[in-house]
Each structure stands twice: as C-alpha cells, then as structure tokens.
Structure 1
C-alpha cells in the first residue's frame, strides 16, 4: 500500500473513533485489547490474624472459587486497628479485581464506631457478595466458675468492672456483641481487645481473661476439644451446631448479635469483574460440601447478588450505629 494512502486510512479510522493508536497496533498483531479476567493471582485481604472464623469460612471457599475462575487465590492476613488496616489496603488498591477484602460485619460497625476512618465505607468499597451468616458464641474456659449467662450477669453485678471479656479486636463483630450484652444486661465488664482471634483464644484458655465472645466457626474446634465451654449463643434461635447451648436471649430477652461474612472490592471495579467474582463465589458456596462444612461450624450459606449485599450493608450500618450511640461505645 502507498504510504500516503495508508496514512489517510489510519486518520479516517482514528477520526471516526473506531481505533486508537494502541488498538491499531494490537489489531495488526491479532491481539485483543481487553485482558480477560482473571489472568493472574487474586489476593484476598483478611483483616484478622490466622486461625479465626474468617479463615474457616475463607480458605475452603477459595478452593472452590479457584476452580471456577481458573486462577490462584491467596489469603493475605493483615490484622490491626479493628480490621481498619486491612480494609484500608483494599480501599486504596487498584480497582481491577485482583485485590479483594474478605471480612465480617465489622466493616459496617466501624462506619460509626471509628471516628476518623482512612477511607469512606460507602465511596471507596463496593460489595461483591454475602458469603454466610451465623451466631457468635459466649464462651468461658474449662473449669470456669461461670457456667451460664445468668452466672456471668450475677457476678458482674456483684463486682462491677472485675470481670473481663476478650474479643478479636476493637470494632469487630464480637466486640459489639459484648457491648450489646453489657448494655442490655446493665453490667460493667471490661473489654480486652486482641490483635486477632488466636491470641484471644490462648489467653482465655490460659486464664488471663474470664470470658470471650467468638465466632461460631472460630471456637468450634476448641469447644469440641473441651478447652472452651460455650454458655450462650447470640442468635435469636439455638444453633444446630451448638444444639445444647441456650441462646443469650433465653436469659436476656431481645438480645441478638449474629455475624456475617462477605467479599468486597475497591470502588470502581468494573461491573463485569464484579459479576465474574460473584458468580464464582456463589458456585463455590453452594456446593453441598461447603454447605456441610459451614453447618458443622454453626454457619449458614447465604450467598446472593452484589445488590442484595449493598442493601444489607446500609441496614447493618444503621443498626450498629444505634448500638454505638445508645451504648456510648468508644475505642482507644
């Protein structure tokens, strides 16, 4: 082709907006301008230390998601500041679907509990899907004098401020479960936050703290091994996985503080990428093996659409804002 005729043709294509210079080069090479998703490893930020309920939920789920996506997914634990550190990493990550957040209802709680978040929950993070829901569990160590919720309330009223309860961190769902308990029972129990569930479990077993609010999945093995004694479930109804454990509401009517787990991405992630991730998550979560695994931990699969998760987030933010305000809950 004559150089001037080629140049004119190229200018016409560019003027028509049908081909960019980069696109022309790729087209000449027979390469698509759009990179298929996913084409490399996806990193899942978990804002907790290893060994907690999020690990139980996440690591098995990721096996199924890897199979559905055809790419590796890795968990990267980034604990600290009541899940804020890990959440902030995702909020500031490129919106390309390769850095995601797997967290709990702590993300909705922190929206009102933490006064100066380094990110805007509504503007910087977008929902991929709800994964599952389940109760938290109030536990003591084996041999504890507190064998029931009534024992705890009586001891707390007899000696205000003497009892201690551990949680996996400030702003976590289990922290607020404890604060709601204190508020409704009108007792003073000192909160001892940890940098993750594992250290909190160790100190409860070792006798450094009296009580612990933990996730059903996180404490399951320790309960089964006899190292922890469950004395109350935070759900409105008893759990099949803890069928002999009464609900806290049976002693404290109206009490309910379940936890949920969900997957999030940076705001601005393309809708097609969100849809791909959502489809892979739902496929992995709805397998009988995964449902059975979660059921053994006291959890129920509840995977849905991104839009359903967004509605849940807004409702949960409003719900826990009321708990924070009414209970005058603050963190250091």
Structure 2
C-alpha cells in the first residue's frame, strides 16, 4: 500500500511528467531485428539521422538479426519503457507470434505501437525466358501438377514465405516452398532453374526485372501500385489475396503517451521532406509515417491472419534466419 501511495504521490508524478516532457535526455537505440545492408536498414539509418537532428540526441542503429526477427523483437520487449529503446521492423512482426508461440512475442500485448513507416510491395516473379507470362498461367500449371511447382523466399517463416503460402491457399493450389538465406540467393536459384518463382520485395526483384532477367507477374496487393500501373495486383486475379508488407516503429509496452505522441509527431513531420521521398523511393518503398492508430489496427488484422496461414500450411519458425 505504501508503494502504491508513493507511486501516486504528486511529487513523483510531477517528476515523471518532467522526465517525459524532456525526452529524450540520452541517446536512443533503434533495434532492427535483421542484418545490416538491407532495405529496412537503409531506411532505419536515414530515420536515425533525421530524428537526431529533431530530437537533439544521437539515435543509434542496433542490428539484432536471427530467428526470423524474434531475437531483436524480444530485446525490445524486455527493455525499459522509457523511450530509450525503439524497434524498427517489418511485417514479420505480425507473424512472429504464430511462428514462435508461447514466447510472449505477440506485439498486440507486448509492444506499444508508434507508427507505420513505409509500405513495400511484395512481388511475384519468374524467369524472363520462362513459359509463364501471367499469374493465371502459373495457377493453371500448379493445378495441373499439384505440389510440383516451387517458390523461393528469403527464409523459412519470413514474410515472403508466408506471402507465397497465402497465395497458394487463396488460389487453391499446392506450391512447394524452398528456403534461402535472403532474397538474393533465392533470385540466383531462380535464374539457375532450381525453382519456378520467387516472392520477394520490389526492392529486391525490380532491378532484375529492369535488367531483363526476371518477369514481374504481379504484386501482393488488393489494388495496383501507382508506381507500377501496368503490373496487376494479385488481388485482382486471386480474390481475397492481400499480403501487405510494411515497416513500422514500436516500443516496449507501457511507453508513456506523451513520448508516443512526441515521437509519432516528429516522424509524421518527416513524411513530405524531399530527401525522405527520394530515399524511400530509392529503396522501393512508399513513406507512410502514420502514427500509432494505423499500426495498431494493422496488427489487429494481420496477427490472426498469419496465425491461420501458419496453422493451415504447417509452417514453423526456423532458428538462425535473418531476413525479413
């Protein structure tokens, strides 16, 4: 009882309010649960630079790859909720509870949403010299040879693995997944004829499409992407298929609302900066920087969706994978 009274004392509450208003008073660590050098790492380093200038404290990137992102996510979940540690992650955040059940990794209860950061389309690609020119061609071939067509992704349990599994389920076909340590090895395998198709981000696939080695059949969205107006949305062809990929910032559960409000407002102020638009476009992403409500709604819909996909496909998380 004494402790509760102390926590509620006006003096302590005033001290806490001053500390929250002064945030940040020390460097902020931004944990990225994937390795350095990828698209999300590039976005993270840009945001760290811009936040440093606006918050008056260094923002340090801390890459914590491994186990499908769960290692980095757990690091943030177990950190103090004082604004000193943030998480920048991909849509795999929503699938981690299904892949690693019983480990306290459900972002809806273990993290505080801060902001969606970016939208990054997932692409379905095949070899440019292959027989398939349309998504419908793949569906027909897969129905004619159940379980014989293969697709690659950057890791078992990755968001792109799940995107392919959801496509197969929605299209009513059986596809065999082949796991690689990143999208680049998956693309190499595609060109070598080891696999039939790849699900990966437009960042990782478009250079090969523009170079004439790969053919872009569609993007895993409900409607066409404005920057790719001639590319079908897979949702146009396979009703109900949407596999959104996104980047987001979250924090340990219990981050004080004044800090959430301040951080999300600063992030929103970056959205229309020319350098942000240019750098995000170079990484194949669309800046969102929406605030906490949009991320909270997305997690509420995506977590149960991926739980269903993982259960139906019998997918298990795999230790040591480092791709998003």
SS in 2 for 1:240: coil
**Match for residue 138 of structure 2?**
152
Question: In the alignment, is the contact (CA less than 8 A) between 2:21 and 2:258 conserved in 1?
Answer: no
Deviation of residue 297 (structure 1)? 5.4
Q: For residues 284-295 of structure 1, what are the structure 2 equivalents within 5 Å?
A: 284-295=270-281
Asked if 1:65 is matched to 2:51, the reply is yes
Distance 2:29 2:187 in 1: 27
Root-mean-square deviation over aligned CA pairs? 3.1
Distance 1:116 1:149 in 2: 37
Q: For residues 172-251 of structure 1, what are the structure 2 equivalents within 5 Å?
A: 172-251=158-237
Deviation of residue 198 (structure 1)? 4.0
SS in 2 for 1:126: strand
SS in 2 for 1:242: coil
**Match for residue 27 of structure 1?**
none
Deviation of residue 182 (structure 1)? 0.6
**Match for residue 317 of structure 1?**
303
SS in 2 for 1:67: helix
Question: In the alignment, is the contact (CA less than 8 A) between 1:194 and 1:200 conserved in 2?
Answer: yes
SS in 1 for 2:258: helix
Deviation of residue 178 (structure 1)? 0.6
Deviation of residue 154 (structure 1)? 2.8
Length, aligned pairs only:
306
Question: In the alignment, is the contact (CA less than 8 A) between 2:224 and 2:233 conserved in 1?
Answer: yes
Q: 1:216 to 1:84 in 2, by over 3 A?
A: same
**Match for residue 107 of structure 1?**
93
Distance 2:45 2:187 in 1: 20
SS in 2 for 1:284: coil
Deviation of residue 310 (structure 1)? 1.8
| Stretches of 4+ aligned residues off by more than 6 angstroms | 17-20, 32-35
Which structure 1 residue ranges, 5 or more long, are not aligned?
1-13, 24-31
Deviates more, 1:196-205 or 1:233-242: 196-205
TM-score, normalised to structure 2's length? 0.80
TM-score, normalised to structure 1's length? 0.79
**Match for residue 330 of structure 1?**
315
SS in 1 for 2:270: helix
Deviation of residue 222 (structure 1)? 3.7
Distance 2:137 2:249 in 1: 38
Distance 1:100 1:33 in 2: 17
Distance 1:62 1:201 in 2: 30
Which structure 2 residue ranges, 5 or more long, are not aligned?
1-5, 318-324
